[in-house]
Structure 1
Amino acid sequence: MLALLTGCPRSGTQLLTRLCNTHPEVRITMEFGSLRTLWMPPKFLALHQIHAFWSRKFPIIHDGHGDWRSRRAWLSSYKFLLRFLWALRRFRYQDVGPRQLESVYRDVTGCKIVGDKLPAYVLSLEQYVLIENLKVVVIHRHPAAVIRSYLELVQGNWRRIPTLNRFNNEVEVAKLWAQSVGILRRHWESVLPISYERLCEDPVGECRKLGEWFDIEPEGFDLSCVQAPKPLPRFSDEVLGQIREVVHEECSFLGYELD
């Protein structure tokens, strides 16, 4: 079964991926971008995946336990890439669609549920929900927490990424959140929505949903990677008013309150 994990950046996609990878029947790559190149020739896919691998500052594969940036995780990622490219050779005379991609992933990992996590997938959700047998999971999180986390990275590790320069204030990040949630709303019945807050407060219940969605035993998930969320940040009245104007409709839909 091919799976896609996504959500607005800083909504908990990384936590969701790590949790999924603790299950013995699941292996999800971390922002490998493999679902961006569906129905492309294998040579194009191979070049794209090599570039995606070397452009990342973190491993693309991890079993969900321990330090996900460890040397062991990097070694596993190198091995995964080489085996992925080798398995791709079987389809060198045809375009690589969902069925072929799933076959490559399963050859490499030996897992029942395979796929990729990438926040950017949410912007193309209308295309992915049309793919037969593709299981899409979208995680959402309170906009205040997303805004805080996003700005911390834009002002820190992401400050040298030119494409993110415009997301340098609360309102711009709020617009990105509203856009992502708006897309999720339109396809709510076609995906599995996961609440970051509920995942942290009731991981057993949310893992039960994941188990049903993927048709696997929910007891296989290791909940030790799930921790309590940080308290929500507070904004000035002026900034809060600007944020509320952008996100009020989506907040109402998801049941979030802005104080």
Structure 2
Amino acid sequence: MILLIGGHQRSGTTLLQTLCHLHPEIGLTNEFGNFTYLGHSFNEYARHVWTRWRRVQGMLAFDVADSGSTQRMKFKNLAFIVRHLYFLRQQCGGTAVTPAALEAIYHRMFPGVKVIGDKWPHYLYRMNKFVKEDDLVRLVIYRDCRDVASSTLVKARTSWKNSDWVGNMDTAEKIATRWVRAIEIMETHADKLVILQYEALMHEPAKELQRISEAIGVNPAGFPPDMIDPGSIGKYQKGLTPEELGTILKVAGPTMERLGYLS
């Protein structure tokens, strides 16, 4: 089984990836982004994967087990890609890359697991492609736009500030607009997604992790019980200026109200 995790940045995708990484029945890569290139030829797929490595370098680890210093992650990511493409070439030759081919090589790279896949926030924005694939479980998480904006702005002003894409998410208005679009995509494809609300996961972790377990066929007891911290809810009250909060409510207010955040 293949699991894809997506959602707006700072909505809880990293938490979900961590929970899944620590589950003994799940082998998940971290922001590899490779499932975007399903249906491409092997050569096209390989070119995109190398582009992804050049962009990421050592900013994160494609395999969370390789986390460490920037230099360590850079070379571990390089080794990961070489091994990944070697296995994939053996699996599919020059034919198009399929979910079955990726599932087979993931099982070689993560032996002994039942579920494989990748977490990348941007999968949500390509959901019109993924809902056409029968072999994928698509898990989307969403969160209060105010907390998303507050957390995203902190990142945009610190660890993300030199990224070439941060200009898309460096103001409250841009983030709120992008968040609304994410929710609209999620609602459009709701019948083909497993949808998780961040706040529900914080307040009722056992119930929500049970839902995930049933969707992907794993034992819910495998998820670590001590990873959930509801203290992250409502941090926008200290992280946003009144002007930023007003902008968010102007742009995203109707959508937030529809989801119960303003009731």
TM-score (norm 1): 0.89
Q: How does 1:114-153 map to 2 (within 5 A)?
A: 114-153=116-155
Describe the superposition over 1:140-170 as per-residue Cα deviations: whole angstroms up to 9, x where unpaired.
1111110011111111121122332243221
Is the 8 Å Cα contact of residues 147 and 236 (structure 2) preserved in structure 1? yes
> 5 Å matches for 1:32-47?
32-47=32-47
Kept in 2: contact 1:53–1:60 (CA 8 A)? no
Return closer, same or farther for 1:82/1:236 CA change in 2, 3 Å cut-off. Answer: closer
Aligned AA for 1:233? Y
Amino acid at match of 1:154: A
1:139-178 equivalences in 2 (<5 Å) = 139-178=141-180
1:138 CA displacement: 0.2
SS in 2 for 1:114: strand
In structure 1, the gaps of 5 or more residues are: none
Partner of residue 253, structure 2: 248
Inter-partner Cα distance in structure 2 for 1:236 and 1:70: 35
Same amino acid, percent of matched pairs: 26
- 2:30 corresponds to: 30
Pairwise CA distance, 1:44: 2.3
Judge conservation of contact 1:32–1:60 (CA < 8 Å) in 2.
yes
**Which residues of structure 2 form unaligned runs of 5+?**
none
* Deviation of the 1:29 alpha carbon: 0.8
Q: Does the CA-based 8 Å contact 1:43-1:92 persist in structure 2?
A: no
* Structure 2 counterpart of 1:96: 97
Distance of aligned partners of 1:237 and 1:152 in 2 relative to their CA distance in 1, 3 Å threshold? closer
State the Cα RMSD in Å.
2.2
**1:201 corresponds to:** 203
Q: 8 Å contact 2:12–2:143 — kept in the other structure? A: yes
Shift of 1:103: 1.4
2:63 is matched with: 61
For the residues of structure 2 that align with 1:37 and 1:244, how far apart are their CA atoms?
Answer: 36
Query: Against the structure 1 CA distance between its residues 153 and 236, is the aligned structure 2 distance closer, same or farther, given a 3 Å change threshold?
Result: closer
Say if 1:253 and 1:190 are closer, same or farther in 2 by CA, change over 3 A. Answer: farther
Distance 1:160 1:237 in 2: 26
Alpha-carbon separation, structure 1, partners of 2:21 and 2:163: 28
Listed one character per residue, the Cα deviations across residues 87-144 of structure 1 (whole Å, up to 9, x for unaligned) are: 1122122110212111121122122211111111111112211111210000111111
- How many residues are aligned here? 254
Shift of 1:8: 0.5
- SS of the residue corresponding to residue 165 of structure 1 reads helix
For residue 230 of structure 2, give the secondary structure of its aligned residue in structure 1. coil
Matched letter for residue 19 of structure 2: L
Name the CA shift for 1:174/1:133 in 2 (closer, same or farther; >3 Å): same
Instruction: Tell me how far 1:6 sits from its aligned partner.
Output: 0.2
Partner of 1:7: 7
Structure 1 residue 84 corresponds to structure 2 residue 84: yes
Q: CA deviation at 1:203?
A: 1.6
- The SS at the match of 1:208 is helix
SS in 1 for 2:40: coil
Tell me the amino acid that sits aligned with residue 252 of structure 2. V
Note closer, same or farther for the CA distance 1:187–1:23 as it changes in structure 2 (3 Å cut).
same
Q: Residue 224 of structure 1: SS of its match in structure 2?
A: coil
In the alignment, what sits opposite 2:108?
Answer: 107
| Deviation digits for residues 233-258 of structure 1 (CA, Å, limit 9, x no counterpart) | 23555543332222123212321128
SS of structure 1 residue aligned to 2:60: coil
